[in-house]
Structure 1
Amino acid sequence: MTTKIVKIDGEHLDFQAIEEAATLLKQGGLVAFPTETVYGIGANALNEASVKRIYEAKGRPSDNPLIVHIAHLDDVYKYASEVSEVSLRLMNKFWPGPLTLIFNKKATISKFITGGLETVAIRLPSNNIARAIIEAAGLPIAAPSANRSGKPSPTRAKHVIEDLDGRVDMIIDGGKAQIGLESTVLDVSSGMPILLRPGSVTKEMLEQEIGQVQVDPTLMGEHEKIVPKSPGMKYKHYAPKGKLTVIYGDENLVRNKINELVREKEVAGVKVAVIATYEDEQMYQCENIIVIGSKNNRTEIAANLFKVLRMMDEQAIEFIYTKAFSEKDIGMATMNRLLKAAGNQKICL
């Protein structure tokens, strides 16, 4: 398959290219496009054959649910069997934007895209290009992250090209994804809302709007035995090729431990790297140090995480060490992704 690559300015939309992408989707094709979170690989959510192509292109397990993207808030009523008052408050506050809500589904949504569940994940993105494509297609678009399954999510078109060139019909280059982490996923299908995947819409922001939100116990730990109700819950995700380890503890102890581990690997002739902030870059004794941002800017660290993990692959790093970052606000999402990328491999000092 030859993949067509088209560049679109999100502020000055090329409607001819938008229509071309929409036509491909209506014909059962796959189109990768930017959203405000990460790049997505889209297909007609009402066409099982098209959705099957997503799983094939990504190499994704079919029990891993997909998020359905819509163009207008009212579209949710076409696919959700019940929309509660709590859901409405969240939609009115955070849509369009990086919040995915899980509803009980209508029969119009096949279990093929819900991982066999009776619930469906729905999001209304805010990215201009994504919204324009979905609206032009006139369809709900199933769109997981546009990467090979298990790899770091793509925040730039070049990441999508690296993973999916020749596997999708079109890739739209809309520049860098603004947020850099996937959407927050909140289950509102029954009873107390449950946070299944943290993101830039934080637990604190949700609770300010609707009161108490439960946190799924698998978010920051083991996850292999669960039935995934949301993308990113069950399998090792976001992982670089090298072995990643996260170190928790007192700053001085962590620094000393990382330097010790680095020395061991360098003596063994193994290529090793450290993920550091601007403030602690000079504390590490390692040839390969990649700065992720300022420790005082959790949004910056979140936005750079997947880019940094992909840089590790570009440099053929075999072992990667990083301290644990703050879990406050969006830091919870950063650490969720980091631990999943590490396969929960961590050292607590």
Structure 2
Amino acid sequence: MMDWSQHPKIQRAAENLIQGGVIAYPTEAVWGLGAAPDNEHAVLKILALKNRAEEKGLILVAADIEQFEPYLDGLTTEQRQLLTETWPGPNTWLVPHNGTAPDYIRGRFDSVALRVSAHPVVAGLCRAFGGPIVSTSANPQGMQPARHGFQVQRYFRGQLDDVTPGCVGKSANPTQIRDLITGEILRAS
């Protein structure tokens, strides 16, 4: 199996993230827009491209649970076990905010949305970048999420710093979103 983190175009996309760029990449169900989560300017550019309100918050995606360690401080052994059992995969968990995630990532919430992706391009991108990245569907508000690279180009012609290679996975729906504390499902997959 190919190690996407070593692919020259993934390395270039990771470098664009490090330098404050906004990129597009395929995920399990749709194309996503990504940025470094600690770069407010890049994250706000994503929100502007999507015409999305900051208060809605954004998901962070990682290659493995270890990349989320700063966000998991304060969780119980049982909560960590639940995350481990459902990752990587189509599960986004709302984890209590412990002061690590900036407001422009959390939005109006007291939690941060985290997911470890099973998509090889996403995982390779996060490994090449060295940590989690912002992940939100590649579409302007009110439009269908892009399922093909040409749709990304049509939506954001010339406004992105990079578009990775790869194809969307076989999932028909975005990931399930669940609250880690209550177990409540906020978005079914």
**TM-score strictly above 0.5:** yes
- Structure 2 partner of 1:248: none
- TM-score, length-normalised on structure 1? 0.51
Q: Does the C-alpha gap of structure 1 residues 150 and 82 become closer, same or farther in structure 2, counting only changes over 3 Å?
A: farther
Higher RCO (C-alpha 8 Å, min separation 6): 2
Q: Does the C-alpha gap of structure 1 residues 31 and 194 become closer, same or farther in structure 2, counting only changes over 3 Å?
A: same
TM-align CA RMSD: 1.8
**1:53 correspondence with 2:45:** yes
Gaps of 5+ in 2: none
**1:79 correspondence with 2:71:** yes
- Structure 1 partner of 2:187: 197
Letter in 2 for 1:133: L
Spell out, residue by residue over 1:170-222, the C-alpha distance to the aligned partner (whole angstroms, 9 max, x if none): 1124123320311100011x3x31100001xxxxxxxxxxxxxxxxxxxxxxx
Secondary structure in structure 1 of the residue aligned to 2:69: helix
Gaps of 5+ in 1: 1-9, 200-349
- Structure 2 partner of 1:149: 141
Q: Does the C-alpha gap of structure 1 residues 49 and 86 become closer, same or farther in structure 2, counting only changes over 3 Å?
A: same
**1:124 correspondence with 2:97:** no
**1:69 correspondence with 2:61:** yes
Secondary structure in structure 2 of the residue aligned to 1:40: strand
Q: 1:25 aligns with which of 10, 14, 17?
A: 17
Q: Which has the larger radius of gyration?
A: 1
Deviation at 1:85, TM superposition (A): 4.1
Q: Structure 1: how far apart are the matches of 2:105 and 2:143?
A: 20
Deviation at 1:12, TM superposition (A): 6.9
Q: 2:100 aligns with which of 80, 104, 108?
A: 108
Are the aligned partners of 2:10 and 2:164 in contact in 1 as well (CA < 8 Å)?
no
Spell out, residue by residue over 1:64-123, the C-alpha distance to the aligned partner (whole angstroms, 9 max, x if none): 110011122122221134323443333222211110000112322101111132210000
Are the aligned partners of 1:46 and 1:140 in contact in 2 as well (CA < 8 Å)?
no
Deviation at 1:63, TM superposition (A): 1.2
Matched length: 188
Q: Structure 2: how far apart are the matches of 1:34 and 1:93?
A: 24
Are the aligned partners of 2:21 and 2:161 in contact in 1 as well (CA < 8 Å)?
yes
Secondary structure in structure 2 of the residue aligned to 1:131: helix
Spell out, residue by residue over 1:3-22, the C-alpha distance to the aligned partner (whole angstroms, 9 max, x if none): xxxxxxx9574611111000
Q: Structure 2: how far apart are the matches of 1:145 and 1:176?
A: 12
Spell out, residue by residue over 1:17-60, the C-alpha distance to the aligned partner (whole angstroms, 9 max, x if none): 11100000001101100111221100001111111111011111
Q: 1:183 aligns with which of 159, 175, 182?
A: 175
